[in-house]
Amino acid sequence: MTDIPTRKRWRRSEIGFVAIIVTALVSGAALLWWPRGAGLGRADPNDSSQTAQGRVVYNLRCASCHGENLQGQPNWQERRPDGKLPAPPHDANGHTWHHPDDQLFGFVKNGIVPYAPAGYKSDMPAFGGVLIDEEIWAVLAYIKSKWPADIQERQEQINRQANQ
């Protein structure tokens, strides 16, 4: 009779062990299969609450360099004497929309230098220690909300290609 309770405990631990293994396998498979950036966040220019949050964060953290109207700094494509480029515009005249969201997110979170060629110099700081991911996605949503519909669609095509 003492054998039955021992057997029940063993079964419970066995089921728990199997559950842990299955969970780990499913999670690992999901990470490999899931499109990059999915689940990490999303910059939705049609989400009014996200763009409102993004506008506040942008004005606080980004506008001093990139301009209140996303216009960037003058002569943004010409290197200064220190070898750095001025802050680019984020409006339709710039090239921000040429990048997929995951890359833009990385630029804001980690700065430009990790993604640039060796020796590249930039004043773009890494905001990963200042902003939470939700705030970064919100800033990107705000920026995207200022683009004309055709630019938004072209950038969305870039996102789809990047996630294939």
50 backbone dihedrals φ, ψ, rounded to 5°: -70, -40
CA nearest to 53, candidates 148, 141, 152, 144: 141
pLDDT score, position 31:
36
pLDDT score, position 41:
81
pLDDT score, position 64:
97
Tens of pLDDT, residue by residue over 91-122, are: 999 999 999 999 999 999 999 989 999 989 99
Between CA 15 and CA 32 the distance in angstroms is 26
pLDDT score, position 35:
36
Q: Which residues of the chain have pLDDT under 50?
A: 22-39
pLDDT score, position 153:
97
Residues 6+ apart with CB under 8 A from 78: 85, 86
Cβ atoms 97, 153 nearer than 8 A: no
Which one-letter DSSP state was computed for residue 88? Answer: P
pLDDT score, position 33:
33
